[in-house]
């Protein structure tokens, strides 16, 4: 036995002697000899031998031939099913292929809603590979349509379309690292600022862009979340973000972003959208994911007013040019028009209930019209004048707005120089930007398709310069 083991045994014996002197060993023996708790005899429950369900097997696993069904076409809610592979299908379907047509719009009430609005967009086609000629070709077809009896296209629409036909896509550059969520021009220059999904800000001057790729682009990351909107006040740029903050940067001191506002309550959720407001743009109207709308003073930092406008998140919020009315679009499938002078009553002037969520709703430059883009695949136009009761669209046309998971949803953008015209993205191929126009007591018309060899993806967000004929697009 080692020396260490001897010392350990001596310590154990000393501890036992100490416990014996205290009478602890007898107490332990009494506890051990106590009656143990008797447990009732529980017999295990017998499991009934259930019938086993055979797993489903495909025709290939069963050694049988496949049915060879395929989708021939899927358009306007109808699907054509064929019974032969596409490569073996004869030109004449009656020669061997069994084709059936199934109406996918047989749901309750869906047909009534489809018939509620007539197709009010003038549809003009384009054939050819040179996308740079799409604008001029579209304008020529528009002129031909205007000469036909029964087709009313105003001279103002033709003049505006002719201006757009002269636009060229001169450059396509990467300004921010990720998906574009917002972009805005400076009112007095060609400076444009973009915000992306990860809180990055990119700035450049349009007139200094070149095709050789040697462009001066400035990048910053003042936010940790999506930059949902951008605004300018004199020589400062303001950025609104999902991270709940508003930051400002002086154009004379690039790279230094000051914290202007930060949400204090987690109950408000994240800052979904924001707009500068006021004569000197010293206020901001904010929409939150909780459905709350608030007005914040950017100078004093105090909240001017706040109320619950929607049951779900506010997608966008906008103020009319006369600063009397406010419009909100929400995930709860509604558009609401408010009187800013009576927001304390927490009651909208009028409401429009849609069938799906509404991505955005914005006033035009005069405040007389509003355009809304919804996930119901519709473009809705409303009168912006103050009304009460139900907010009914003056025009409503079909438009594919299902951009999917990896693209920013479509936001329509009014042209500040033409209060009757707005731009919107398109899911059509070849990729393009669509311009719509509507005159008083007239139909909504597609007056221009803008495309080019550099437009190879879906354009979701837009910025139109208030003084020059410049259109900027942002994609994913």
Measured CA to CA in angstroms, residue 50 lies from 45, 46, 47, 53, 285 at distances of 15, 12, 8, 9, 64
Most confident of 63-77, 162-176, 197-211, 346-360: 346-360
* pLDDT interval class at 123 (50, 70, 90): very low
Pairing of strands 201-205, 358-363: unpaired
Q: What are the φ and ψ backbone dihedral angles of 196, each rounded to 5 degrees?
A: -120, -170
* pLDDT interval class at 458 (50, 70, 90): very high
Q: What is the mean pLDDT of residues 183-197?
A: 93
Neighbouring CB atoms inside 10 A of 22's CB total 10
210-217 long-range contacts, Cβ below 8 Å, gap at least 24?
A: 210/171, 211/170, 211/171, 213/173, 215/171, 215/173, 217/173, 217/175
Per-residue pLDDT reduced to its tens digit, 370-389 = 999 999 999 999 987 656 66
Say yes or no to pLDDT of 129 above 60. no
* pLDDT interval class at 91 (50, 70, 90): very low
Higher pLDDT among residues 138 and 26, named by residue: 26
Compute and round to an integer the Cα radius of gyration of the chain: 34
Q: What is the mean pLDDT of residues 12-19?
A: 86
Neighbouring CB atoms inside 10 A of 242's CB total 20
Higher pLDDT among residues 124 and 82, named by residue: 82
Average pLDDT, the chain: 79
Residue 50 has a pLDDT of: 60
Neighbouring CB atoms inside 10 A of 113's CB total 13
Residue 100 has a pLDDT of: 38
């Amino acid at each position: 036995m080692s020396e260490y083991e001897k010392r350990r045994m001596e310590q154990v014996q000393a501890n036992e002697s100490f416990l014996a002197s205290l009478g602890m060993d007898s107490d332990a023996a009494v506890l051990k000899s106590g009656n143990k708790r008797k447990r009732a005899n529980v017999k295990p429950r017998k499991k009934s031998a259930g019938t086993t369900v055979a797993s489903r097997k495909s025709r290939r696993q069963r050694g049988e031939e496949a049915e060879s069904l395929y989708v021939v076409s899927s358009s306007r809610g109808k699907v054509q099913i064929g019974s032969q592979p596409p490569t073996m299908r004869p030109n004449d379907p009656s020669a061997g292929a069994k084709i059936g047509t199934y109406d996918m719009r047989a749901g309750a009430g869906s047909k009534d809603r489809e018939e509620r609005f007539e197709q009010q967009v003038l549809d003009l086609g384009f054939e050819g590979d040179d996308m740079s000629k799409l604008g001029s070709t579209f304008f020529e077809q528009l002129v031909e349509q205007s000469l036909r009896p029964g087709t009313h296209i105003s001279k103002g629409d033709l003049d505006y379309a002719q201006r757009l036909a002269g636009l060229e896509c001169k450059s396509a550059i990467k300004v921010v690292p990720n998906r574009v969520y917002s972009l805005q021009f400076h009112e007095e220059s060609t400076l444009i600022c973009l915000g992306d999904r990860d809180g990055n800000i990119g700035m450049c001057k349009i007139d200094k862009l070149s095709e050789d790729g040697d462009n001066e682009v400035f990048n910053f990351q003042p936010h940790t979340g999506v930059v949902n909107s951008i605004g300018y006040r004199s020589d400062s740029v303001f950025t609104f973000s999902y991270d709940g903050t508003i930051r400002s940067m002086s154009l004379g001191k690039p790279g230094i972003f000051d914290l202007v506002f930060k949400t204090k309550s987690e109950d408000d959720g994240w800052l979904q959208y924001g707009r500068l407001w006021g004569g000197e743009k010293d206020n901001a109207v904010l929409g939150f994911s909780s459905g709350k709308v608030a007005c914040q003073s950017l100078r004093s930092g105090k909240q001017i007013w706040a109320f619950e406008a929607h049951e779900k998140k506010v997608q966008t919020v906008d103020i009319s040019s006369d600063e009397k009315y406010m419009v909100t679009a929400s995930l709860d499938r509604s558009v609401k028009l408010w009187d800013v002078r009576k927001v304390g009553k927490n009651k909208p002037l009028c409401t429009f209930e849609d069938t799906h969520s509404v991505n955005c709703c914005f006033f035009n430059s005069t405040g007389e019209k509003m355009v809304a883009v919804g996930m119901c695949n519709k473009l809705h136009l409303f009168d912006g004048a103050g009304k009460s009761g139900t907010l009914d669209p003056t025009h409503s046309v079909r438009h594919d707005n299902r951009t999917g998971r990896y693209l920013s949803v479509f936001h329509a953008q009014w042209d500040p120089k033409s209060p009757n015209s707005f731009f919107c993205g398109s899911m059509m191929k070849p990729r393009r930007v669509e311009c719509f126009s509507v005159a008083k007591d007239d139909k909504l018309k597609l007056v221009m398709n803008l495309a080019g060899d550099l437009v190879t993806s879906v354009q979701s967000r837009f910025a139109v310069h208030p003084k020059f004929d410049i259109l900027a697009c942002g994609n994913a």
